[in-house]
Amino acid sequence: METSFALTGKGYVIIAADTTAARSIVKMKVDEDKIKELSSHLLMSYSGEPGDTIQFAEYVERNIRLYQIRNLYPLRPAAAAAWIRRSLAESLRSRHPYSVNLLLGGYDIADHKPNLYWIDYLGTVVELPFAAHGYGSYFALSLLDRYHNPEASLEEGLATLKRCIEEVAKRLIVSPDRFKVKVVDKDGTREVEL
């Protein structure tokens, strides 16, 4: 089942998403990247209805890029979250709503703070220190309540993330076996190996 986690630490946000593309009970692909780099300091993981996810993620990606081209500066994380939320909220009351759940992680280069937004397909947005989507959230959130530290170094943050992944692997019936992990901090976005 699709699962994604994210957590903030001292000057960074880590986002992890599983890499399986499933169709009914069949795994079609095991190396799918479900985390998009929207701009130099903005990451977005997406999950939900196949088709909708990629369609909506690319729509967001291109609009964020368009803003940057037009204005010569990128949207800050809070502004990006507000724009994405509005897109989803308007879509919700349309003929065919997108059913996409997102985690938006960014490093605000103006006030030097990491920001993490939990966004669901209804257009509910919450700013959080850590967040999760999918069945994995039932295990990971309680773990993060116990082990999350907003002042943790990147190594400590990755160790906490590892605990979440291991717990999901242990307890969830149909657990994903691989996760892609990306980090955003003052130096921009990058992928890390666990």
Partner 1 sequence: MSVMEYNGGSVIAMVGKDCVAIASDLRLGNQALGITSNFQRVFPVTNRLYIGLPGLGTDVTTLRERFRYRVNMYTIKEERDIQPETFAHLVSSTLYEHRFGPYFIEPVIAGLSKAPSGGFKPFIAATDLIGCLNFAKDFVVAGTASAKLFGVAEGLWEPDLEPEDLFETISQTLLNAVDRDAFSGWGAVVHVITKDQVVTRTLKGRMD
Q: How far is the CB of 87 from partner 1 (least distance, A)?
A: 12
Instruction: Pick between residue 129 and residue 188 the one whose CB is nearest to partner 1.
Output: 129
How far apart, in whole angstroms, are the C-alpha atoms of residue 122 and residue 45? 16
Binding site for partner 1 (CB under 8 A): 85, 88-89, 92-93, 118, 120, 122-126, 128, 131, 137-138, 141
DSSP characters over 117-157 = EEE-TT--EEE-SEEEEETTHHHHHHHHHHH--TT--HHHH
Q: Within 10 A of 72 (CB to CB), how many other CB atoms are there?
A: 7
Nearer to partner 1, 11 or 97 (CB): 97
- For partner 1, the closer of residues 54 and 122 by Cβ is 122
For residue 69, the minimal CB distance to partner 1 (Å) is 26
Nearer to partner 1, 21 or 128 (CB): 128
Q: Are 109 and 149 in contact (CB under 8 A)?
A: no
* Minimum distance, C-beta of residue 189 to partner 1, in the bound complex (Å): 25
H helical segments located in the chain: 52-71, 77-92, 137-147, 154-171
